[in-house]
Amino acid sequence: MDEAVATAVARTRTRRRFEPFHRADRNFYLVFLLACWLGVIMGFLPAVTGRLAGHAPYPAPPILQVHALAFSAWLLLLTIQIGLVRIRKVALHMTFGAFGIALIPVMAVSGFGSEVFSQQFHFDRPPNNLGFFILPIFYVVAFTILATLAVLARKNSSAHKRLILLATTVIVGAAYARWWGEGLARTFGDGYAGMLINTYAGTNLLLLAAIAYDLVTRRRLHPVFEIAVPCILIAEVITSIIYHSPQWPPIAQMIIGR
């Protein structure tokens, strides 16, 4: 027994140290950024062009306009921040970070408010899908928690940038779901497992890429990934359960005030 404990302690002490920097980091985060923009363009461009052409089901309320601007600003800021790190303008990168801090509550409130408006509009019209309301709640809560933790960890660069990656991955996953969702639903259905695939395929592929990158470059995961990724996956499963629960729509109806 004592030998087993001693062995476990020795293994803990000799665990490979996580190197905060790697020469490939700058290129990995650039590829990640391009993947984010690809998902957003392919997922939201049809809706945006349709709205501009006057084919939207309802005029965009102010809360939706704020959300669209805030979401775009987040991705634009991420682009600037990654660019500043690439050209080693760290001081300017930290200055611009203040805009990101201000965007977090704006994105959270406007994201939730936009979906409440959408659910209210569709309540008496097809498609009435109150079960769907749990998905934007997941996106808002997960993004807000991860982005806030990123702010708190900004003095730890390796943790900070991975938390930003995770927060962005969650919301970009919604864009990929718009792009791939219908096709995946036709293939895998919309049951418990099918919903996890057609809703979270984009998110989970980005998570898998981030995990694989750490394993290849560091031979271990960053502690942020060790804790946060399982939490995200568990939250996805819980979201699927709530989505399919007959008890959820009455609760959602109460939340939207109908």
Residue 130 to residues 44, 59, 67, 127, 249: CA-CA distances in angstroms?
21, 21, 21, 9, 5
What pLDDT is recorded for position 5?
45
pLDDT digits (tens), the chain, 258 positions: 455 544 544 454 456 788 888 999 999 999 999 999 999 999 998 888 888 777 777 778 899 999 999 999 999 999 999 999 999 898 999 999 999 999 999 999 999 999 999 899 888 776 668 889 999 999 999 999 999 999 999 999 999 999 999 999 999 999 999 999 999 999 999 999 999 999 999 999 999 999 999 999 999 999 999 999 999 999 999 999 999 999 999 999 999 987
Question: What pTM was computed for the model?
Answer: 0.90
Domain boundaries, the chain: 20-256
Q: What angle do CA 106, 222, 164 make, to 5 degrees?
A: 15
Record the tokens describing residue 110, joined without a space.
């406007």
Give me the pLDDT at residue 100, please: 95
CA–CA separation, 59 vs 23, rounded Å?
48
